[in-house]
Amino acid sequence: MGTPYLNVTWQGDRNLSASAREVRVEDHDRLIDQATLTFSDPAGTGAATIRPGQRLTIDLGWDAEHAVIFEGLVAEARAQAPQGGPQLVTVVARDLSQLMQRERRPHEDYHGTLASVVRAVAARHPEIPVGQVACDPDPSFPEDRPLRQHDQTDYEFLLTLAQRYGARFFVEYNEGSSKLYFVSDKKIAAAKPLGVLPYCRGRGKLIAFTYETVAARAARKASVSVHDPLTGEVRTAEGAGPPEPPALAVDSGRAAEIGRVDPAARAVYESAVGAGAVTPAPAVTDTVVAVASDPAAAEQATAPDPTRLLGLRGTGRAVGTVMLRAKGKVTIHGIAPWAEGDWYVSRATHVWKDTSVPGRPGASYEVEFTATR
């Protein structure tokens, strides 16, 4: 794995890495990404010079594999001058999507496809080039039924569109600069996992993982009826039901591993799997209300979030890797059979810490994450 790597660049060319004591970069699927950095500041120069609006980039990973995972602007700077101990300065920076929060637009109407509307809004912010716009569905908005932005910032408007039409909107550093992305949930759910996290106590890349299944969180079948504004006809749309949970089956490899340690425990494992079959609950259809009179909106209102179909949620810690990012998937092995498989990462916090002691420099790098399935 090597040695943890950190390179913090301030204002383009000034390196602050040597003063760093802790760096936390929170990568979120529905919020502005945020970095919190704590620096040693014995002379008080950091408190005097680091100000809101200044640019920070963070290159993180291992000496053999690292990448820029954050670019943003300073939002807060807090200085600590304690009675005893060294002075510290804590800096909070947020990604460049905050630039889209500066102006509220009282009234804007848009025509064309959803993708063209997203690009039109993005064009007002040339400092954030478009990385990808992939809309599915990609409805059209004619002149008599425009898409309306009312008393919202551009960031709030695009976030609303993403939630309404099943997509993720975010700004992320990629290929040398921060870029704007608007990607459908279907495309994200269909993507290949970014990697594999095996759990093996004391040896696996997955250090700890707490996971749960809650029936109330699972996707539910939905139905909605609306009036077609052109014909007056009532249109009914009904979504697909949630998938059945994976069937329990004895894992021969796991059974053999358990048997090598304790043959009696293997028998208990095999019988427990056989007794653990669950009869699916009767399907229930929810009726969706307060949907606009638009057949396309009705179909979208019945579409479940593909990242939360089974109602599983987990939080964990893993050995640091720049490949574990929000809005991606990861395969988890070595846990309960009903939970093994591909998980969607909704939040990934990359944590670098200075662990040096006198005469022996050191650092650690882990990722804390939240995932759903």
Instruction: Please report, for residues 77, 356, 373, the alpha-carbon distance to residue 84 in angstroms, rounded to integers and kept in the order given.
Output: 21, 20, 47
**How many helices (H) and strands (E) are present in the chain, helices listed first?**
7, 25
What does the block give as tokens for 147? 């898409």
pLDDT by residue (tens digit) across 68-95?
Answer: 999 999 999 999 888 887 889 999 999 9
Q: Which CATH class is domain 102-189?
A: alpha beta
* Banded model confidence at residue 271, pLDDT cuts 50, 70, 90: confident
Q: Indicate if the pLDDT at residue 197 is higher than 80.
A: yes
Are the C-beta atoms of 259 and 266 separated by less than 8 Å? yes
What residues does each domain of the chain span?
4-96, 102-189, 191-219+305-373
Mean pLDDT of 185-213: 89
This prediction's pTM:
0.86
| Residue 120 CB neighbour total at 10 angstroms | 13
What does the block give as tokens for 312? 């599983």
Q: Buried b / exposed e across 20-42, counting CB within 10 Å, b at 16+?
A: bbbbbbbbbbebbbbbbbbbebe
Q: Please state, rounded to an integer, the average pLDDT across all residues of the chain.
A: 87
Mean pLDDT of 32-61: 92
Q: Find, among 331, 23, 348, the residue nearest to 205 by Cα.
A: 331
Per 3-state DSSP, the chain is made up of helix, strand and coil in percentages (nearest 5) of 20, 40, 40
Q: Find, among 221, 240, 236, the residue nearest to 295 by Cα.
A: 236
Q: Find, among 223, 229, 222, 226, the residue nearest to 141 by Cα.
A: 229
pLDDT by residue (tens digit) across 331-352?
Answer: 998 888 888 899 999 999 999 9
Distance CA 57, CA 53 (A): 13
Residue 13's pLDDT is 86
How would DSSP label each residue in 209-266?
Answer: EEEEE-GGGS--EEEEEEE-TTT--EEEEEPPPPPPPPPP---HHHHHHHHHH-HHHH
Fold of 4-96: Phage tail proteins - horseshoe like beta roll fold (2.30.300)
Residue 265's pLDDT is 80
Fold of 191-219+305-373: Elongation Factor Tu (Ef-tu); domain 3 (2.40.30)
Tell me which of 283 and 187 has the higher pLDDT.
187
Residue 290's pLDDT is 46
Mean pLDDT of 211-223: 74
pLDDT by residue (tens digit) across 285-311?
Answer: 666 554 555 656 666 666 778 888 888
Q: Find, among 92, 69, 91, 89, the residue nearest to 81 by Cα.
A: 89
- What's the CA angle centered on 212, arms 319 and 69, to 5 degrees? 35
Are the C-beta atoms of 316 and 339 separated by less than 8 Å? no
* Banded model confidence at residue 256, pLDDT cuts 50, 70, 90: confident
Tell me which of 128 and 45 has the higher pLDDT.
128
Distance CA 227, CA 32 (A): 37
Tell me which of 32-36, 106-110, 197-201 is least confident. 197-201
CB proximity list for 342: less than 8 A, separation 6 or greater: 193, 329, 330, 331, 373
Q: Indicate if the pLDDT at residue 45 is higher than 90.
A: no
Instruction: Please report, for residues 220, 280, 309, the alpha-carbon distance to residue 215 in angstroms, rounded to integers and kept in the order given.
Output: 10, 11, 10
Residue 181's pLDDT is 98
Residue 193's pLDDT is 93
Q: Indicate if the pLDDT at residue 105 is higher than 60.
A: yes
Residue 39's pLDDT is 95
